[in-house]
A and B are shown apart, each in its own frame.
Chain A
Amino acid sequence: MTPSINLTSYRHADWGGSDGSEIVAFLGEDLTQAHFAWSFADRAGGNVLLTLEATTEGLQGLVARYEPDYVHPVSGAVVGATLLIPQIDRETLLALDTPGETGADIVLFHTLYLTRDSGLKHAEFAGNFRIMQGAPN
């Protein structure tokens, strides 16, 4: 079952990044050799406007890093985790078409895909990606 997760960003600011708080933690798994692709479309099944894939830290894309000392949020046990750190630059968010209505949010649909060494490709989660206008800067 693919969970539905809705995310929020602000149009005049970067989303995620190593200094941000947008992190996906895969508990107990080392997925640094797996391939991640995070698609953002104008609607479910619509045109893909942006895809995040592996990049180096500090650039737009995805950075996967394994931390063996990561603590399980429920049990408190050290289970290790692969931390997937996404980053979307504000220039990218600013370049998206705005709705006709002033101040309206831009709502995209996102899906995170994980392809393992075996070639199996799974959708980890999907949902709305809401880009709030915020106060321009």
Chain B
Amino acid sequence: MTIHVERGPRNIVVTQGNNALEARRQALVAGAHELRTRTLADQASTAAVAALAAANYFDTLERALASTPEGASFTTTDPAVALNEGEANTSETLRSCIRTNEAPYYRWLGPAADPASRADVERADAKAAFAVGKTSMTIRPDDLNLDFTLQDALDNADLVVLHDPQGSGFALDVGLQLPVSRPITLMSHPRGRASIRATAQMDALITQADTNLIIGTGLQGLHLDCNDFAAHGLVIQRGKAWIIDDIDVTGFLDTGMILGKDGASGAYCYEHQISRLTIDGGIAKAQAGTHPKRGIGFLDGATDNKLWAPVVSYVSDYGIDNSSGGNNCIASAHVYGPCDYSFVAGGECEFIGCFADTPRIAGYLITGERTQIIGGKVFANIGALGYTPEAEAFRFDMPHQITIIGVRLRNLGYDFNAIAPSDTSTVFGLAYSAVTTVSSRRNWAGQSIRTSGAYGAEFRAGSPAGQRASMILHDENDKSLWRLGKDNSSVSGNNSGADFDFDSYDDTGAFLATPLSMTRTGTVQVMGTYSAPFRLGALRMWNNSGVIYVKQGSNPTSAVDGTALGPTT
């Protein structure tokens, strides 16, 4: 290939060709272009100047002057451009100028030569982008009227910036396939959020299973308007370590965002970092009872993903459904609106500081193994949504090794249960601590762990030898009143030690007495002093130095205020 470089009076002609004939042809084209630019720009009178100038757009006047030869035209929105009357281009209107050889080294060509809009420039850029191997593109909705689509942009550019200053949105009549040959970044222009709007039935923005495993695609600052057409907004069946940030999905018919795929075949979707998702099922739909099924779904093949601070509202069945995914971590999530289950916890997932807000049936449906629920709260604002919730905090369906720590339960239903297994569920290995309830019609006393069918229920508390394992009942200020459980005597053989105590506390919360205790071999002991006698109906009975006394009807006033039954000395 021969490249010809010719420096004429402030112009450059570059030709490329495999032979002289091809070089001549390209040179003619380029030469004609340069000639036309100079001639028409000097006349400064036709729209053709604007078109030619628009092809040479610069962000700043300084860059334009540094890059434009004398006699050639350019455009810029720089407010520093001086207009005829001397005022500056404060409106930042796109201005056509010609490069001169005298200070200030440019001249505004006048309003007739100004391109109609900035879009003209960007369309010109977009048209040329693929041909010159651009790796990034900025696209406006108007650009989609050209001979390429948004899909073309994703298929060719590594960085696609959607710029929608008019807010008209990017219309989609088929689902937008994220590339499976390389990672890309799809994002909104920093000056405004762009909307991708479905106009036909589809899944809006997707990758499918059984494709290349692409690492590191980025999605940022997008509004996916499913527009009551698309079943799902964002669907990622295959990918690794994507950065997904600040996405909101509305108008979907089924699920706002899906990671993985039902059945898992070919789906590998893991190690994504997902933040600031907003999934809105639509309050109007919710009131009409036609809201979509699910906010976010972690399905088969979705593992080791981190989901930070999502907000899901007004879906019918599941807010964040992790029934199939494994080892996912969901933090600071807020699910509100009357869905059946705010969260569904499958295998080995973590919910940290999540807020189950107004669930219909339960805050958490726990179906897998080794789930951890740490902090956060379950809340049902009775009546606020026009229904009476019968919410449980945690509904278990065949789980085990579950840890629930420090969750705040508030305003749940009248007969709600903190923990409620399904009819066929066996719960074991549950660590459940520091769960508080506030403002419920029933507090802890009204709650229970219950089972049904052929399954029993157990509370378990274990401690090493010499240490108590107890349940303490206290007042609303945590002042102890009663303690019952294993005492602090060690097992010492012959079934002795580790006896059962029933202790009481005084008004200050200090230990008072042990009214009742029993050994494991069956010996029962009560206090039995005259001030704390053992009662059989109205009969008081106590021990006074080896003599049993009884008294009917009222408490004794001294150790001998009764009838001595013996033994006598």
Which A residues form the contact surface with B (CB < 8 A)?
Answer: 1-7, 21-29, 72-74, 81, 124-125, 127-128
> Which one of B1, B3, B18 contacts A125 once the chains associate, using CB atoms below 8 Å?
B3
Interface string of B1-44 (1 = CB under 8 A from A): 11111110000111110101001100110010000000000000
Between-chain CB contacts (< 8 Å), 25 pairs: A1-B12, A1-B67, A1-B69, A1-B72, A2-B67, A5-B3, A5-B16, A6-B133, A21-B1, A22-B1, A23-B3, A24-B5, A25-B4, A27-B6, A27-B7, A28-B6, A28-B7, A72-B6, A73-B4, A73-B20, A73-B23, A73-B27, A74-B31, A125-B14, A128-B133
Tell me, in angstroms, the Cα distance from A6 to B67 when the chains sit together: 20
Closest to B56 in A: A1
Known interface pairs A1-B56, A23-B3; A73-B24 also in contact (CB < 8 Å): yes
Tell me, in angstroms, the Cα distance from A28 to B7 when the chains sit together: 8
Q: Say whether B7 contacts A3, CB under 8 Å.
A: no
**Tally of chain B residues near chain A (CB < 8 A):** 26
Interface membership of B132, Cβ < 8 A: yes
Q: Say whether A27 contacts B3, CB under 8 Å.
A: no
Interface centre among B15, B56, B69 (most CB of A within 10 A): B15
Closest to A79 in B: B6
Known interface pairs A28-B6, A73-B20, A74-B31; A3-B133 also in contact (CB < 8 Å): no
Given contacts A29-B7, A73-B20, 17 further A-B contacts (CB under 8 A): A2-B67, A4-B132, A5-B3, A6-B132, A21-B1, A23-B3, A24-B5, A25-B2, A25-B4, A26-B5, A28-B6, A73-B15, A73-B23, A73-B24, A74-B31, A125-B3, A125-B14
List chain B residues, Cβ under 8 A from A27: 4-7
Tell me, in angstroms, the Cα distance from A26 to B12 when the chains sit together: 10
Tell me, in angstroms, the Cα distance from A34 to B72 when the chains sit together: 27
Tell me, in angstroms, the Cα distance from A29 to B5 when the chains sit together: 10
List chain A residues, Cβ under 8 A from B67: 1-2
Q: Smallest CB–CB gap between B185 and chain A, Å?
A: 15
> Which one of A3, A6, A28, A74 contacts B12 once the chains associate, using CB atoms below 8 Å?
A3
> Which one of B14, B23, B27, B72 contacts A3 once the chains associate, using CB atoms below 8 Å?
B14
List chain B residues, Cβ under 8 A from A21: 1-2, 18
Closest to A6 in B: B133
Interface membership of B68, Cβ < 8 A: yes
List chain B residues, Cβ under 8 A from A24: 2-3, 5
Closest to B99 in A: A1
Closest to A28 in B: B6
